Amino acid sequence: MLSRTADHVYWLGRYAERAENLARTLDVQYRLSLLPRKSTSEGVGWGLTLSTLNFADRYATRFGEDYETHRVIEFLAFDRENPSSILNCLRAARENARAVRGSISSEMWETFNATWLEARSNAPSRFSARNVAEFVEWVKYRAHLARGVVLGSMLRDEGYHFMQMGTFLERADGVARLLRIRLACEATDNAGEPVTHDYLPWTVLLRALSAYEIFRRVSRDRVTPMHVVEFAAFRPDVPRSLLRSAELVFDNLAAVANTQSGETQRRAGVLHSMLRFGTLATLGAGGAEALLQDVSERVWDLNDRIGRDFLGHVVPT
């Protein structure tokens, strides 16, 4: 496969998944912002969200430190000047699909194109920061639809494997960041006070991961931070777990391996093995936050190496 085509399908998978991950992250923080809490908690929560997503500097340049809920939502979801807003991710996914129309099914193209056209036409009116819940559900629905179309109509060739690699690298990073945001908010809420764990925010997080019913079905543990982190990190049978994503990245990378990708495969295998055989007790010497930060760093290292080994990117040394 031409590296240009591989690059487009890889980033098609990444941008489509990034839009969904951002929607799920917004869902958690927005729902928690509706609860009665300390007057400063809302702004702190949005500030930590922006910081963990690496959007803090860009936001501060334009809006300072005014973390009013609907302004942050507008920035993360609809801002056309924010290249990583949900709206721009949907546009980028569509543009990558258009660039490889000859290499994907017509159903895939029609799905990604229709998603962007509907988002673009409805963002000023039906979709806005004032009814973010409807927008989040719509993004999740379109993501489920696109995923089904990909699985049901795409040839299992190299293009499919590159798209899956992009999808699951992005998912691992998105889930790790979502967990880090929640842990940071928990630490801030308990600063200078006895540590108490409110189960409700973690229940909201599980629902945002489409995993609340699964957690209740397979686990007898209480909904506490560490139980949820362990569940979202190490369960191989949970669709959005870090382990499941790392496993699929490793498998799809093996399917397209070439003569120069040996080290990339090894690093993907290390991430997979770390999550498969590890626990918070063995891996979390610096706490769950350190483990999740390590996962994100390994994901972006793999992204750079995949770009160099397969996609023709020149990565600075």
Domain range summary for the chain, segments of one domain joined by +? 1-155, 184-310
Which pLDDT value is given to residue 51? 93
Percent of the chain with pLDDT over 90: 70
Q: Which residue has the higher pLDDT, 75 or 198?
A: 75
Full-model pTM: 0.92
Q: Are 81 and 59 within 8 A, CB to CB?
A: no
For residue 315, what pLDDT is reported? Answer: 46
Residue 256 has pLDDT above 90, yes or no: yes
Q: Which residue has the higher pLDDT, 312 or 90?
A: 90
User: Which DSSP category does 288 fall into?
Assistant: H
The tens digit of pLDDT for each residue in 175-191 reads 999 999 999 988 876 55
Burial class (CB within 10 angstroms; exposed 0-12, middle 13-18, buried 19+) of 277: exposed
Helices (H), the chain: 3-33, 41-52, 56-63, 69-73, 86-99, 106-122, 132-153, 158-189, 199-208, 212-218, 225-234, 242-255, 262-277, 280-283, 288-309
Write down the pLDDT at residue 317.
35
Is 234:278 a contact under the CB 8 Å cutoff? yes
The overall longest dimension of the chain from CA atoms, in Å, is: 60
At residue 1, the pLDDT reads 60
Least confident of 50-54, 218-222, 250-254: 218-222
Q: Which two tokens stand for residue 109?
A: 């193209």
Q: How confident is the model at residue 194, as a pLDDT?
A: 47
Q: What is the mean pLDDT of residues 45-64?
A: 92
Structure confidence at residue 40 (pLDDT)? 53
With cut-offs at 50, 70 and 90, classify the pLDDT of residue 316. very low
Residue with tokens 């990034």: 18
